[in-house]
Amino acid sequence: MADTAQTVPPVQPNSPARARAKSWRRTDWFAYIYLAPALIILTIFHIIPVIYALWISMQFGTVRNFRLACADADAIAKIPEAFGILRNFLACFDNYNRALNAPEFWDAMKTTLFYVLGTVPPTIFLGIVVAYLLFQKIRGRGVYRTIYFMPHVISTVASAIVWAWVFDPRNGLANHFMQFIGLPVQQWLVEPDGVFKLMGESLKIEVPEWAEGPSLALVSIMIFSFWQSLGFDVIIFLAGLTNINAELYEAGRIDGANGAQLFRHITLPLLAPTLFFVLVISVIGSFQAFNHIFAMNRMVAQPLGGPIGATRTVSVLMFNTLYAQQRAGYATAIAVLLSLVILALTLIQFKYLGRRGEGA
């Protein structure tokens, strides 16, 4: 105590200011009161539900009438007797077993993967292109930015209503456009056939079943999400570009680099952290695609996930299982499996791309 007092000579050892300054450095027990409101809400509605989800996923029956799967004789009977005493334990995971053995689950996974692959890379790629164009000290940058971001602000249900109408087979804009450029009109949202199959048909080529590609219905929904999320990517990339030190470009130009070289050697590496952020956010977001699929299917008056399951993503499957079939346990098992996939993909991205992103 004595020597600390000597190192701070201007303040009198016993002055009230010093006492208070010391009190600010002490343990602030009242901090827990500051934390309490947020922590209580987050614990009840975000942390406990994760554990609760595991518990619910082991239940049969409806929300008001749960039965533990482990206590179900049929579920136990399904497990081979060789497991002995473990049979009761393994039977708890019957819902997972069912999901993993259900063709509809794997179809939904495939649809979701098509959806993610069909939306995330094109949106990011064109997002960078548009951001780079806007970055070129172009006139009216603010106006373009406002317009490109607008779809992201408008509620999904409202814009899905419009887009379902754009894709209307009878008098939709999309078919007007197809006629304008001399292509055959399409069924869009109600077309369960794969896009490559449809292209093959119009070119009179037989396309093998594995190469049919995502259904045109799903592609229509992808076009919608591209429209909706492009502006978000543009804004973030534009901010990332603006953050790059202008002197680097100056130095590059003095060294005689042309536009493409500047982009390749300065812009891209320095944009990597932004790119990584957008990639992670977009993958997580599109794995959970639901709202627009819900609204657009309702607009064309077909069951959620139609036509014949062509737009049934995992989220849609989960919602249908809960809402229409009232099987909360099974739906939660699907949600847990989906979350594991999302988590694994996020960790893979962090492991293989994150380091490069941070190093730049």
Partner 1 sequence: MATQNPWRINRDRARSWLVSGGIHAILIAGAVFMLFPFLWMILGSLKTYNEATTAGFFPREWHFENYPEAIVVMNFSKQCAYDAGNPLDIFDKCLLLRYFANTIFIGMVAVLGVLTTGVLAAYAFARLNFPGRDLVFIILLATLMIPGELTLIPNFVLMVQFPTPESVIATAFKLDPDAQIKNWIDTYWALTIPWIATVFSIFLFRQFFKTIPNELFDAAVMDGATHLRFLWSVVLPLSKPALITSALLTFLGSWNALIWPLLVTNSPQMRPIQVGLAQFITEAGTQVQLLMAGATMTIIPIMIMYLILQKWFVEGIASVGIRG
Among 262, 342, 353, 360, contact with partner 1 (rule: CB under 8 A): 342
The span of 37-45, 78-86, 105-113, 188-196 binding partner 1 (CB under 8 A) equals: 37-45
Among 70, 185, 236, 266, contact with partner 1 (rule: CB under 8 A): 236
Among 346, 349, 353, 360, contact with partner 1 (rule: CB under 8 A): 346
Q: Is 8 helix (H, G, I), strand (E, B) or coil?
A: coil
Q: In angstroms, what is the minimal distance from the CB of 260 to partner 1?
A: 13
Q: In angstroms, what is the minimal distance from the CB of 129 to partner 1?
A: 8
Among 3, 4, 14, 37, contact with partner 1 (rule: CB under 8 A): 37
- Our finding on whether 189 is near partner 1 (CB under 8 A) is no
Under DSSP, the state recorded for 207 is: P
The span of 73-81, 94-102, 109-117, 165-173 binding partner 1 (CB under 8 A) equals: 165-173
Q: Which is nearer to partner 1, 109 or 196 (CB)?
A: 109
Q: Which is nearer to partner 1, 114 or 232 (CB)?
A: 232
Q: In angstroms, what is the minimal distance from the CB of 54 to partner 1?
A: 9
Q: Is 60 helix (H, G, I), strand (E, B) or coil?
A: strand
The CB-based long-range contact list for 326-332 (8 Å cut-off, 24+ gap) reads: 326/62, 326/63, 327/62, 328/56, 328/59, 328/62, 328/63, 328/66, 329/56, 329/57, 329/58, 329/59, 329/60, 329/61, 329/66, 329/69, 329/95, 330/95, 330/98, 330/99, 332/53, 332/56, 332/57, 332/95
H-only helix segments in the chain: 2-7, 16-25, 31-42, 48-56, 73-78, 86-91, 94-101, 103-135, 141-153, 156-166, 173-180, 195-202, 216-243, 246-254, 259-262, 268-287, 291-299, 314-323, 328-349, 355-359
Pairwise CA distance, residues 283 & 118, whole Å: 11
The span of 198-206, 210-218, 234-242, 351-359 binding partner 1 (CB under 8 A) equals: 234-242
Among 93, 115, 163, 188, contact with partner 1 (rule: CB under 8 A): 163
- Our finding on whether 251 is near partner 1 (CB under 8 A) is no
Query: Interface residues for partner 1 in 65-124 (CB under 8 A)?
Result: none
Using CB under 8 A as the binding criterion, the count of chain residues that bind partner 1 stands at 101
Q: In angstroms, what is the minimal distance from the CB of 19 to partner 1?
A: 10
Under DSSP, the state recorded for 206 is: P
- Our finding on whether 220 is near partner 1 (CB under 8 A) is no
The span of 97-105, 164-172, 179-187, 193-201 binding partner 1 (CB under 8 A) equals: 164-172
Neighbouring-strand partners of residue 61: 66
Among 5, 12, 13, 39, contact with partner 1 (rule: CB under 8 A): 39
Site string for partner 1, 2-31 (x = CB under 8 A): --------------xx--xx--xxxxxxxx
Q: Is 320 helix (H, G, I), strand (E, B) or coil?
A: helix
Q: In angstroms, what is the minimal distance from the CB of 298 to partner 1?
A: 5
Q: CA torsion, points 105, 106, 109, 111, in degrees to nearest 10?
A: -100
Q: Which is nearer to partner 1, 199 or 342 (CB)?
A: 342
Query: Interface residues for partner 1 in 252-311 (CB under 8 A)?
Result: 274, 277-278, 281, 284, 287-288, 290-291, 294-295, 298-299, 301
Q: Which is nearer to partner 1, 88 or 291 (CB)?
A: 291
Q: In angstroms, what is the minimal distance from the CB of 346 to partner 1?
A: 6
Spell 184-212 as b/e; 16+ CB within 10 A means b. Answer: eebbbbbbebbbebbebeeeeeebeeeeb
CB count in 10 Å sphere of residue 108: 25
CB count in 10 Å sphere of residue 326: 14
Among 235, 257, 262, 360, contact with partner 1 (rule: CB under 8 A): 235
Structural contact between residues 272 and 354, judged by C-beta atoms closer than 8 angstroms: no
Q: Which is nearer to partner 1, 64 or 351 (CB)?
A: 64
Look up tokens 């809402």; give the residue.
323
